[in-house]
């Protein structure tokens, strides 16, 4: 194992309280909203074309819901 230099240690100590957590949560929320809008647009387009809902639509919804809960778990529930 390699020992840290005094410069690396002082840098780590001076930045120990910094966190990108709020920025990460904001980006995840923005992406969830954008993905939800895209999925809603997909269903709107299907309705306007009078096309039925097919298996790929159900899979898109299932994937979106699974991704939402995966993001929720990894960003909010797994904090130590």
SS3 track for 10-74:
HHHHHCCCCCCHHHHHHHHHHHHHHHHHHHHHHHHHHHHCCCCCCHHHHHHHHHHHHHHHHHHHH
pLDDT band at 80 (very low <50, low <70, confident <90, very high): very low
Ranges 14-18, 28-32, 38-42, 74-78: which has the least confidence: 74-78
5 vs 76 pLDDT, higher one: 5
pTM across the whole model: 0.63
Q: For 21-61, how does the pLDDT look when each residue is reduced to its tens digit (9 = 90+)? A: 788 878 878 988 999 999 999 999 999 999 888 899 899 99
């Amino acid at each position: 194992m390699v020992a840290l230099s005094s410069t690396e240690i002082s840098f780590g100590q001076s930045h120990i309280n910094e966190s990108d957590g709020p920025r990460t949560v904001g980006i995840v929320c923005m992406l969830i909203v954008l993905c939800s809008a895209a999925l809603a647009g997909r269903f709107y387009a299907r309705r306007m074309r009078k096309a039925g809902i097919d298996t790929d639509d159900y899979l898109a919804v299932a994937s979106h819901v699974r991704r939402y809960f995966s993001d929720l778990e990894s960003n909010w529930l797994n904090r130590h």
